[in-house]
């Protein structure tokens, strides 16, 4: 099964390129202190707004900080927020979708109406409001100055599509013969839900989670661009774009390179998601 999935996936050339791009981004982020000798938060006004050179590959910003270094360190936060928030969303969505699809009836109706309510929220405004509120409360499990509130809020406002996918899968699988056999030998509901049914719903969950990472990166970038995400001087791709607004006309590199990183990461992850969707589709024939 794994060999067949890998064969299908590697036939999707854009997905393979996407994997290469993301692996490159992760390696550069992990080894940022080795790749670049500069401090991402050290100012040097003598070289402010310097265009790209061999010494500063992507130029410098309005405070003379090396842009390439800040992009490397910013990728740590942007990618971490995308992955961690989507892990939270997938966990919540899987639990709610599994409960709704397996039990049906009143439980299904209540959980799906709750999902509809969350889908009706104006997501961006709720993100701004809740993120600001959490920062002011300074809860011990969401410390001020960290990006934990952003992960928490994005994750809890992104689970609805996963819940609907999981619910649909559970509704179609719960009447299968092997589920009835497990129930006949005395298996409890929890064991049937997570031991017998959940592994067979992994494909749509994996695809939805992968595509959700790209959406979370865009959401974080948008929040940071508006000033409600990760705060300066901590670099992220979004707040680097925000800082570049004032000098985009005469120092365009300060906006081009962070924007290019967001674009490259999002399109690479979307291609990976497309490749996984084709590779994990049980109806697809291998020619």
Q: How far is CA 9 from CA 12, 271, 272, 285, in A?
A: 5, 11, 9, 13
Mean pLDDT of 68-84: 91
Query: For the chain, how far is it from start to end, CA to CA, in angstroms?
Result: 16
Provide the percentage of residues in the chain whose pLDDT is more than 70: 94
Lowest model confidence (mean pLDDT) among 151-165, 187-201, 245-259: 187-201
Identify whether the C-beta of residue 274 lies closer than 8 Å to the C-beta of residue 7.
Answer: no
Mean pLDDT of 168-187: 81
The per-residue pLDDT for 144 is: 57
**Is residue 218 exposed (0-12), middle (13-18) or buried (19+ Cβ within 10 Å)?**
middle
Choose among 171, 264, 176: nearest CA to 221. 264
Please report the DSSP string for 195-246 in residue order. Answer: IIIGGGGHHHHHHHHHHHHHHHHHHHHHHHHHTSSSPTTS--HHHHHHHHGG
Q: 2-33+78-279, what's its fold?
A: MetI-like fold (1.10.3720)
Lowest model confidence (mean pLDDT) among 93-97, 116-120, 162-166, 192-196: 192-196
The per-residue pLDDT for 222 is: 87
Q: Which residues contact 51 (CB under 8 A, 6 or more apart)?
A: 59, 251, 253
pLDDT confidence bin for 281, thresholds 50/70/90: low
- Strand, coil or helix: 66: strand
Residue 225 phi, psi (nearest 5): -65, -35
Mean pLDDT of 74-102: 91
| 109-126 pLDDT per residue, tens | 999 999 999 888 888 888
């Amino acid at each position: 099964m794994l060999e067949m999935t890998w064969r299908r996936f590697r036939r999707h050339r854009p997905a393979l390129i996407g994997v290469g791009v993301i692996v490159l981004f992760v390696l550069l982020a992990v080894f940022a202190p080795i790749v670049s000798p500069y401090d991402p938060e050290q100012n040097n006004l003598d070289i402010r707004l310097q265009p790209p050179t061999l010494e500063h590959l992507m130029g410098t910003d309005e405070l003379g900080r090396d842009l390439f270094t800040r992009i490397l360190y910013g990728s740590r936060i942007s990618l971490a927020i995308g992955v961690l928030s989507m892990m939270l969303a997938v966990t919540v969505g899987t639990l709610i979708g599994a409960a709704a699809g397996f039990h049906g009836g009143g439980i299904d109706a209540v959980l799906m109406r709750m999902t509809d309510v969350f889908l009706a929220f104006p997501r961006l405004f709720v993100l701004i409001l809740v993120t600001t509120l959490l920062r002011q409360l300074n809860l011990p499990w969401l410390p001020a100055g960290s990006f934990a509130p952003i992960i928490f809020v994005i994750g809890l406002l992104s689970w609805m599509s996963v819940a609907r996918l999981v619910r649909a899968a559970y509704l179609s699988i719960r009447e299968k013969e092997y589920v009835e056999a497990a129930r006949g030998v005395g298996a409890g509901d929890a064991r049937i839900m997570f031991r017998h049914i959940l592994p067979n719903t992994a494909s749509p969950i994996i695809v939805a989670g992968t595509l959700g990472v790209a959406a979370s990166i865009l959401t974080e970038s948008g929040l940071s661009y508006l000033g409600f995400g990760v705060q300066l001087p901590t670099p992220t791709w979004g707040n680097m774009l925000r800082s570049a607004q004032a000098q985009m006309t005469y120092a365009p590199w300060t906006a081009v390179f962070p924007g290019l990183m967001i674009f490259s990461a999002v399109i690479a992850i979307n291609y990976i998601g497309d490749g996984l969707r084709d590779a994990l589709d049980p109806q697809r024939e291998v020619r």
